[in-house]
Chain A
Amino acid sequence: MALDSALLRVGDVHEATVVDNLTRTQIVQYAGASGDYNPIHTDEVFATQVAGYPSVFAHGMLTMGLTGRMLTDYVGDGRLTKFGGRFTAQVWPGDTLIASATVSAIEEDDGVVVAQFDVATRNQHNVAVFTGSASARLD
């Protein structure tokens, strides 16, 4: 179900918990699906003893993918025209992530309504781990 542009207002906020207590298994699952097997994400021995991190940590693209799930659940399938942002902090096993989209603009061009969103994903300490923006074509 696509978002109805008639009901949408600038400033509207949609938010969703996209992962609760991130597991190492989910990070490994993402490694397998994406093909990025960098051991800093999947290999605790390597991550701690060789790379010097406190543990493995999630791929930035896992965080962005989870954030994308919030967006597609909100705007509807196949609606996004743009989605991008910056990885602003690492995501660790045990983290809980809350992703949000805030309507920043609604534009109509040739009968096509495009909504723009500020996007942010924060962890359980309210630290932003991903910040960016997205656009979606609405009905």
Chain B
Amino acid sequence: MTAERFPIEAGHIMAFARALCDDNPVYYDPSSDEAKAVGGIIAPPTFVQASAQFDPDYPLRPKPGEVWFGSGATPSGRIHSEGAAGDSGGANGGTILHAEQHYEYHRPIRAGEVLTVSVHSGRTWEKQGRRGGLLHFGESITEYCAADGELVVTARSVGVRTDQTVRD
């Protein structure tokens, strides 16, 4: 169980909407008719995923003083000479992929508020993959709450760890 602070910043919402090619003014212009109709700038439906920015331990962001596993002088920061075996972020040379994502919206998220994030693990299960290899599934449930404790968004995520590289 972790708890963290997720400040909902207007500029962050704008950048996130831009990455989705979404030019709806409800995501950047508080004086627009769209924003006025919903009481100000709100976040797009998948925005809570960006709470990763505020997770100090988030593993998929390079951090000062730590070896990053992306390419630099060699194809991976974890490879010190060409041709040595590396890993792709998963265990045993496999990959962790996002299998499912589900959101329940209790109310819109608003620019300017600060949410509290709490994560807990859900079920885990295994399944035989279509192309061989065992698939390991794990569920995590994240609750995003307002300052007064009101539940704003519930997110349920399922990740899958494969024993080998996945291709369609």
Contacts and interface: CB of A to CB of B under 8 A. Distances in A.
Interface range on chain A: under 10, 10 to 19, 20 to 34, or 35 or more?
35 or more
Contact of A39 (B50, B69, B158, B166): B69
When A and B form their complex, which 9 residue pairs have the shortest distance between CB atoms, in order from nearest? A84-B102, A39-B70, A51-B88, A45-B71, A35-B52, A35-B53, A78-B108, A49-B75, A68-B45
Interface string B38-68: 1000101110011011000010111000000
A86 B100 contact: yes
Interface in B6-54: 12, 15-16, 18-22, 24, 26, 34, 37-38, 42, 44-46, 49-50, 52-53
Interface of B: 12, 15-16, 18-22, 24, 26, 34, 37-38, 42, 44-46, 49-50, 52-53, 58, 60-62, 69-71, 75-76, 79, 86-89, 95, 97-105, 108, 156, 158, 165-168
Interface of A: 18-19, 26, 29-30, 32-40, 42-43, 45-46, 49-54, 59-62, 64-66, 68-69, 71-73, 77-78, 80-87, 89-90, 127, 132
